[in-house]
Amino acid sequence: MSQHTDMTSDTATSSHADTVILTRDLCWQWPGQAARLRFPDITLPPGEHLFIRGASGTGKSTLLSLLSGMNRSMTGTLTVHGQELTQLSGGARDRLRADRIGVIFQQFNLVPYLDTLGNVLLPCHLSAHRRHQAGDSPPAAARRLLAALGLPEECLGRKPARLSTGQQQRVAAARALIGSPDLILADEPTSALDTLNRDRFVRLLLDQAANSGSSVVFVSHDPALAGHFERHLELTPTMGDQP
């Protein structure tokens, strides 16, 4: 099953060097599932933002897992920041993700035993590159990001269980942004928010990404958010796409 209406794709002339993401003929099949997910081609230049929408089950989260290197695509090509992910080992894909990619998961995936600052600083512990990019004082960078995203000061020492959903979302966004990764992948992070807070959050995320020159790929089932993004991709269910 799955997809498309590709408004990002692109041009035979695009080269790996001038794109953050370049995919061709990407497919994925989950174990035990008869249908294969086929994804439309993506070409994303540095600093540009892509909105991916589609109904539940069309493969949005699966596509992000391929873009982040958490799963390796079965067929096709996928280049992130000039590196062909399908050719890299699991360890090399983990390194690329730690250095170059910030991920905001659908369920945030904050570490329950770390407080807000500890969660935001995690990428700086996993990657010397991100730590270096965060400047002389990563904790100060974390505080600045959290303030810019509107998290109250009193939340800095709290663990995720003592934060509201909207506050956890801001922590997850700051963790993705710290150390200015080239690419931020955001999986439906606004689904729990009302319209006003949802639009505000997307604006804050894109403003902060622009400050650090990061490209954002933002997944949502909500077409109302599309106006914030210059590039769009729609995944649609299609029946009977057997391998």
The per-residue DSSP string of the chain comes to: -----BSS---TT--GGG-SEEEEEEEE--TT-SS-EE---EEE-TT--EEEEE-TTSSHHHHHHHHTTSS--SEEEEEETTEEGGGS-HHHHHHHHHHHEEEE-TT----TTS-HHHHHHHHHHH-HHHHHHT-S-HHHHHHHHHHHTT--GGGTT--GGGS-HHHHHHHHHHHHHTT--SEEEEESTTTTS-HHHHHHHHHHHHHHHHHHT-EEEEEES-GGGGGG-SEEEEE---S----
For residue 33, state whether it binds ligand ATP (rule: CB under 6 A): yes
Partner from Mg ion, ligand ATP, none binding residue 195, C-beta < 5-8 Å depending on class: none
| Tokens describing residue 215 | 């490209």
From the list 60-68, 136-144, 149-157, 158-166, the region that binds ligand ATP by CB under 6 A is 60-68
Please list every residue from 107 through 136 that binds ligand ATP, using CB under 6 A: none
- Residue 118 CB, nearest approach to ligand ATP (Å): 28
User: 30 or 113: whose CB is closer to ligand ATP?
Assistant: 30
- Residue 146 CB, nearest approach to Mg ion (Å): 26
Distance, C-alpha 159 to centroid of its chain: 23
For residue 5, state whether it binds ligand ATP (rule: CB under 6 A): no
From the list 4-12, 44-52, 55-63, 126-134, the region that binds Mg ion by CB under 5 A is 55-63
User: 11 or 56: whose CB is closer to ligand ATP?
Assistant: 56
Site for Mg ion (CB under 5 A): which residue of 9, 14, 29, 61? Answer: 61
User: 64 or 117: whose CB is closer to ligand ATP?
Assistant: 64
Please list every residue from 193 through 222 that binds ligand ATP, using CB under 6 A: 221
Partner from ligand ATP, Mg ion, none binding residue 58, C-beta < 5-8 Å depending on class: ligand ATP
Residues that bind ligand ATP (CB under 6 A): 30, 32-33, 54, 56-62, 106, 221
